[in-house]
Structure 1
C-alpha cells in the first residue's frame, strides 16, 4: 500500500488514486511545528511517565531522527525550512488564545524567552531560517505566516511536527483553506497516542492534505 491508497477515511474509501503532486523547489517549503522542549519533558509522576512512554519512544526513535534528516535534505537542496512554535509575548500569557487559557492539558503558559518554549536542539533552526511564534494552534491563524509564504511565492507546504491531532491538524486545515497544497509527512509527526495519530491522518487525508512517509516524499521530490 502506498500513500495513494493508505489512510483512507469513510468518505474516500472508493475515491480514485490522486495524481502525484507537482512540488516545484522554488514553491515548496518544509514547515516544522512545535517540537519544543516542553513536549519532550518526562513526567515526574511514574503513572504519567508510563502513560506517555509510547509517545516519547516514537519521538526519539522515529520522528526526531527522520525530521532531522528531512530538514538537512531540504537545506542541502536549497529549499526553505520554516519553523513554528507556541509561545506568548507577555509573561502572564494574556495574549494567548482561549484554547491555551482553558484549564487542562492544553493550558500552555510559555513566555517566548522561556526554556520550555524553545525548539529542541536536534531540530533547532539554522541561521537565517524563519521562525514564527504563535499563541494559537494554527500557525496560519496566529501569525503572519500566510503573508510570508505569499511573499516568498510558496504554494506547497510539507508539514511535520506535534501534535498530529492538534496544532499540526489545525495548521493543515488552515493552509488548505488558504488554497496551499499540503503534504503531511506521517513519520515526522506524533500525537499523544498512536491511535489518535492514525485517526487524525485518516480524517484530514485527501481533503486537507496528502499523507505520505518521508521516504515517499524524498522519492517524489528527488531528494538525495
Structure 2
C-alpha cells in the first residue's frame, strides 16, 4: 500500500478504553476523568483533521487467543461480543478507526501498521490503559517500527503505579518518547500538519 503523502503525519492512538479494564478498583476510580480527557483529545484530533485509532482487546472463549499467563491462570476476559469487550460507552468513537488485538502490543498480529501506513502516519500520540502494560508495549513496538511517539500523560492510567512510573521513565529516557501533560497533548494535536 502506498502512503498518502497528503495525509496528516500524526495520529491519536487510544488503547483499551474498554469496560474490562476499568473493573480494577484503581482504574474504576479514574474512569470518568480519564475518558473525559481522552474525549478532549479525540475532539482536538478531529478538529485538526488527524486520524483517531482506537485499539481494543478481544479474546475467544476457546482459549485460542489467550496469552501464556491467561492460560496458566485458566482465566480469559474481554470475550468477543460481551460487555467487557465493549468500549466504555461515553468514549467518543464516531469516525475512529477500530483495531482489535489479542496481546499487550497493539502491533502484534494486528492490522495497525497497515492502517497507519495507509494514512501516511509517522507520529503517534498514545493514551489509554494500562500504562505499564498495553500502553508501554505499544509505545515500544512503535519505536521498533520507527514511529515518533509521545505519551498523553494525563490520558493514561494504571493499576500499578510503581510499574507505570518506571515504564514512563524508560520510554522517556531510553526511547525519547516524551510524556506530555494534557495542555501539551492538545497543542500537539492542534499544531500544524507537517511531514516530519
Bin the TM-score by the shorter chain: 0.7 to 0.9
What is the Cα-based RMSD across aligned positions, in Å?
2.2
Deviations 1:171-211 (A, max 9, x none): 00000000000110111001103333222211211433221
Question: Residues 78 and 116 (structure 1 numbering): CA distance in 2 closer, same or farther, change over 3 Å?
Answer: same
- Asked whether the equivalents of residues 36 and 118 of structure 1 are also in contact (C-alpha less than 8 Å), the reply is yes
Matched, 1:205 2:187: no
Question: How far off is 1:168 after superposition?
Answer: 0.6
Deviations 1:115-171 (A, max 9, x none): 110110121421x42111111111011311112111211000110000000011110
TM-score, length of structure 2 as denominator length: 0.84
Where does residue 183 of structure 2 map in the other structure?
215
Deviations 1:47-101 (A, max 9, x none): xxxxx3x4333333x322111111111112221110111102x332312332443
Where does residue 103 of structure 1 map in the other structure?
73
Where does residue 31 of structure 1 map in the other structure?
13
User: Any stretches of 5+ residues in structure 2 without a counterpart?
Assistant: 1-5, 192-196
2:53 to 64, 70, 82: 82
Question: Residues 111 and 220 (structure 1 numbering): CA distance in 2 closer, same or farther, change over 3 Å?
Answer: closer
Q: How many residues align?
A: 185
What are the residue-to-residue correspondences of 1:31-70 with 2, within 5 Å?
A: 31-41=13-23, 52=25, 54-60=26-32, 62-70=33-41
Where does residue 91 of structure 1 map in the other structure?
61
Where does residue 12 of structure 1 map in the other structure?
none
Bigger Cα Rg:
1
User: Any stretches of 5+ residues in structure 1 without a counterpart?
Assistant: 1-23, 43-51
TM-score, length of structure 1 as denominator length: 0.75
- Asked whether the equivalents of residues 99 and 136 of structure 1 are also in contact (C-alpha less than 8 Å), the reply is no
Question: Residues 151 and 202 (structure 1 numbering): CA distance in 2 closer, same or farther, change over 3 Å?
Answer: same
1:129 to 86, 90, 96: 96
Question: Residues 198 and 25 (structure 1 numbering): CA distance in 2 closer, same or farther, change over 3 Å?
Answer: farther
Question: How far off is 1:112 after superposition?
Answer: 1.8
